[in-house]
Amino acid sequence: MSYRYKVASIFLLGFFIDCINIFMSAVALPSLSATLQVSSASVAWVANAYILGLTLIIALSTWLAARFGSREILTASMLVFSGSVWLCGQADSFHELVIWRFVQGIGGGLLIPVGQALTFNLFHGEQRAKISTLIMAVALIAPAMSPTVGGLIVDISSWRWVFYSTLPFSLLAAGLSWWWVREGKTAELQRPDIKGLLLVSAVLASLLMGMSLYGGDYPPLAALGFVIAGLTFIALYLLHYRRCSNAIIDLSLLRSRKLSTSIFIYYAIPGVFTGVNLMSIFFLQNTLHFSARLTGMFMILYAIGAFIAMILCGRVYNRTGARRLFTLGMLLHSAGIATLVLVNAPTDLWLIMIAYSLMGIGGGIGANTAQTTSLMDFTGGDTHKASVIWNINRQMSFSLGAALFLMIFNVLLPPLGTTPAYQATFAIAALVGLLPLLQMNQLPCAKERP
């Protein structure tokens, strides 16, 4: 195996670990919520804490890799991830679990951006579309198998084994990183932007806390206070960015229409889907009384649909271009979410199957096109910086999507009742997923030739 494919393999393994960590743990949340006696809004912090840890460390990933060497950082990150996974499974309280999930996010937050930047700097031009197809292939395998396996684990054992099951993969990633990666330290280092890092983390923490509190058993002013704090931290970061020569997030890179549009798409498709899937899991298990295993198996249909989308995108991207593919992906994805509105009883199994199939096809088209398009304008050091933005955005979209639709559901629950509140939340999500259509004219109809 050539060196560039060894590096790509490590990155793809890390991406696989991240995906199964998201989807496998999600299907265990109703069981975890019941065992630890926490509400559905609070249990979302099992995911939120992981995202906060990722955000804190992803922004430092480029500097850490340059300072200590890519091999050392990739290896250490997977060892920290492995230790925290074990401690998540050992947690005796909800707060203890949240703390170790935060540490797990710190451990996992280095492999993907560092590995992606190393990989994309080894694959150029049209080869990036090919490696992006491999990335999306991994993104199909993980959602296809992990919810079903996770549901089976929950049904026959415990949610704790959902965490333990990722240990072999993270330890393998640690070993391969140490044996295969050659990149060492960089001679010249800029001081990391610690102030900017703290501001970015404060933005995400405040917004997530505000959405988590709103609609729950907390005063509305408390939620509003956190949202205002989040907006204030955004303003402070913008002021800081203008004065800092090496800001942790280089906002100038967002002038790339390909990157900025791909980011918007990721919030509207994978981000929205994360929230919809979380609501669907609670709806199917708690309201329709499906087993965790059956709930997880719907993701197989999602993966089959996404596989069809991956094949389509790989063959037509260079001829069709991102604009048309984005539009098609959004329409199909939102149509799938809208189908969930029609689900009322366990006998509506065929509607759920259609919904997940459509979401898979539309989501696969949108996510694959965004992954291919996002970093096309960048080379060299800018690839690392853009990769930081892209991966922070990717993780934030998952967490904000879940928090947003949990908040909407909690607001709608008292006046509407359980099933209508779920259906109304799905309807709102379908509309939110179409918002990027408003800026599709900013992309060319066909892909620009290099």
Instruction: Residue 297: give its domain's CATH number.
Output: 1.20.1250.20
Asked whether residue 219 falls in the same domain as residue 73, the answer is: no
Asked whether residue 257 falls in the same domain as residue 230, the answer is: no
Asked whether residue 185 falls in the same domain as residue 203, the answer is: no
Domain boundary among 247, 277, 312: 247
Is 404 contained in some domain? yes
> Number of H helices and number of E strands within the chain?
20, 0
pLDDT at 52: 78
Give the SS3 label for residue 443. coil
Asked whether residue 176 falls in the same domain as residue 141, the answer is: yes
Structural domain that includes position 209 = 193-247
pLDDT at 449: 42
The number of folded domains in the chain is 2
pLDDT at 331: 96
Alpha-carbon torsion (386, 227, 401, 447), positive or negative: negative
CB within 8 Å of 195: residues ≥ 6 apart: 240, 244
| pLDDT tens, per residue, the chain with 450 residues | 788 889 988 988 988 888 888 778 878 888 888 888 887 667 778 877 887 787 778 767 777 887 888 889 899 999 999 999 999 999 988 889 999 999 998 888 788 778 877 887 788 766 766 777 777 678 667 767 788 888 888 888 888 998 999 899 999 999 999 999 887 565 555 677 788 878 888 888 888 788 777 756 667 788 889 889 999 999 999 999 988 877 878 888 888 888 888 999 999 998 999 899 989 998 999 899 998 888 888 888 988 888 888 778 877 887 888 888 999 999 999 999 999 999 999 999 999 999 999 999 999 899 888 888 887 777 766 777 787 788 778 777 877 888 889 889 988 999 999 999 999 999 999 999 999 998 887 776 554 444
pLDDT at 447: 47
Is-contact 82 177, C-beta < 8 A? Answer: no
Asked whether residue 229 falls in the same domain as residue 334, the answer is: no
- 401 CA to centre of own chain: 9
Asked whether residue 214 falls in the same domain as residue 286, the answer is: no
The DSSP annotation for 292-348 comes to HHHHHHHHHHHHHHHHHHHHHHHHHHHHH-HHHHHHHHHHHHHHHHHHHTT--STT-
- 85 CA to centre of own chain: 18
Domain boundary among 212, 247, 282: 247
The reported pTM is 0.76
Asked whether residue 215 falls in the same domain as residue 345, the answer is: no
pLDDT at 351: 96
Is 450 contained in some domain? no
Is 448 contained in some domain? no
Nearest CA to 430 out of 364, 363, 374, 368 is that of: 363
Is 431 contained in some domain? yes
Asked whether residue 240 falls in the same domain as residue 289, the answer is: no
pLDDT at 219: 75
pLDDT at 129: 67
Asked whether residue 96 falls in the same domain as residue 211, the answer is: no
Asked whether residue 211 falls in the same domain as residue 259, the answer is: no
Is 211 contained in some domain? yes
Number of neighbours of residue 225 by Cβ within 10 angstroms: 15
- Rounded CA-CA distance 128/8 in Å is 11
pLDDT at 445: 59
pLDDT at 84: 94
Q: How far is CA 15 from CA 72, 103, 169, 391, in A?
A: 18, 18, 11, 11
| Dihedral angle over CA of 242, 395, 278, 281, nearest 10 | 180
Asked whether residue 206 falls in the same domain as residue 322, the answer is: no
Is 38 contained in some domain? yes
Asked whether residue 170 falls in the same domain as residue 99, the answer is: yes
b/e for 402-420, b at 16 or more Cβ within 10 A?
Answer: bbbbbbbbbbbbeeeeeee
The torsion angles phi and psi of 183, rounded to 5 degrees, stand at -55, 130
- Rounded CA-CA distance 16/110 in Å is 14
Is-contact 344 293, C-beta < 8 A? Answer: no
